[in-house]
Structure 1
Amino acid sequence: MNIILLKTGDVHIHMLDSFDRYQKTDRVWVLQSGRFNEKPDSFEEHWSEEDKQRIIHHIRMVIKSGGAVVAAMKGHNVHGFAVIEAAPFGEMSIYRELSYIHVTRELRGTGLGSRLFQEACAAAKALGAEKLYIGAHPSLETQKFYRKMGCLPAQELNSAIYYREPRDIQLEFTL
């Protein structure tokens, strides 16, 4: 599996055809009274073909606007990817958003997510970022991944990212 920095010409409408974004969540982290607590919450997520096409369009726009997309490729198919948004933000403009990092279901737990995270960090640093900002899915598995990567609660809250998905846990990672 090759991990590459995508260029506009690498993006095509079938690149996520074999990507399986299914996740069943039974327990989540929530921030209550300044502390993270585990609580039951059951839901499932699965990308439709429309979702995949919307994400492919987003990937194309991120690359065109000066952001970065790192992808784990096998042939012409994407098996994992991470998206670094183009626009810096924060009080000192040191943050870049890691808006997506996903690994297809059958390859989760293989270390591919860690490799993608490391490559996304390198791409963000090359874009001038000092910190990654992540609105992270609240599932225990996702939060465990980010803790393992060394992410911490965000020091600055990006309200636009927070309000996009208020259940997400706002994290950061110093590059």
Structure 2
Amino acid sequence: MEKVVYKKLNKEDIKLSLFNDFNRYQEVKKCWRKENNKWILKDISFIEQWGENEYNFLVKCLINTIETGGVVLGAFCNCSLVGFASVENSFFGSENQYLQLSSLHTSYEYRGNGIGKQLFSIACDEAKDLGAKKLYISSHSSEESQNFYKAVGCVEAIEYNKKLVEDEPCDCQLEYVLR
């Protein structure tokens, strides 16, 4: 694989064409669900494939992240976006300890090459620089997504963000202590 370059993106970088070569595809076979206070891996299968509507919505969200003082990161291979992450700049939690990792995605063809782990590490540094004690992730409940977050050291959130739970009730609410 060619060298991957990581950089902080500015508002002018965020446009629909940025995602021309990005493939947000995921074949899900199993998802985690919390039932009677226990996590259970259930047979829930579907294919997730982003189209133009999802990318248009994403562009608006990422521009808003930058306009509100958050950070958007990009991973590039041969000048094409192969991964991205975003950290919001709105503190929450009983001690205002959390900032949200609002997105972390690697293009389908580039998964398994450490791009997501590197983006997560940079996002942690950015959140720490903004003053956070913990990173909060409302994460896809798929087995693969949860395996990734567990591998980088995330655990179930001590405090749940009510709005994020209401927005995505099937997501797993995670946190990562910033060191």
* TM category, shorter: over 0.9
Matched residue type, 1:139: S
Instruction: Give TM-score scaled by structure 2 length.
Output: 0.94
Instruction: Give the equivalent residue in structure 2 for 1:87.
Output: 90
Question: Aligned equivalents of 2:144 and 2:108: distance in 1?
Answer: 13
Instruction: Give the equivalent residue in structure 2 for 1:108.
Output: 111
CA contact (8 A) 1:59 1:83 kept: yes
1:167 Cα deviation after fit = 0.4
1:166 pairs with 159, 165, 169, which one?
Answer: 169
1:117 Cα deviation after fit = 0.4
Instruction: Give the equivalent residue in structure 2 for 1:96.
Output: 99
Aligned ranges 1:76-155 → 2 under 5 Å? 76-155=79-158
1:10 Cα deviation after fit = 2.2
Residue 163 of structure 2 aligns to a residue in which SS? helix
User: How many correspondences in the alignment?
Assistant: 175
Instruction: Give the equivalent residue in structure 2 for 1:3.
Output: 6
Instruction: Give the equivalent residue in structure 1 for 2:56.
Output: 53
Q: Deviations over 1:86-129 (max 9, x none)?
A: 21111111101111100000001111110010011011111111
Q: Deviations over 1:125-161 (max 9, x none)?
A: 1111110111111110000000001000000010100
Identity %: 37
Question: Aligned equivalents of 2:77 and 2:67: distance in 1?
Answer: 23
Aligned ranges 1:37-76 → 2 under 5 Å? 37-74=40-77, 76=79
Q: Deviations over 1:5-34 (max 9, x none)?
A: 112232233001111001111111111122
Q: Which runs of 5+ in 2 are unaligned?
A: none
Cα RMSD after superposing both structures: 1.1
Matched residue type, 1:164: D
Instruction: Give TM-score scaled by structure 1 length.
Output: 0.96
Instruction: Give the equivalent residue in structure 1 for 2:22.
Output: 19
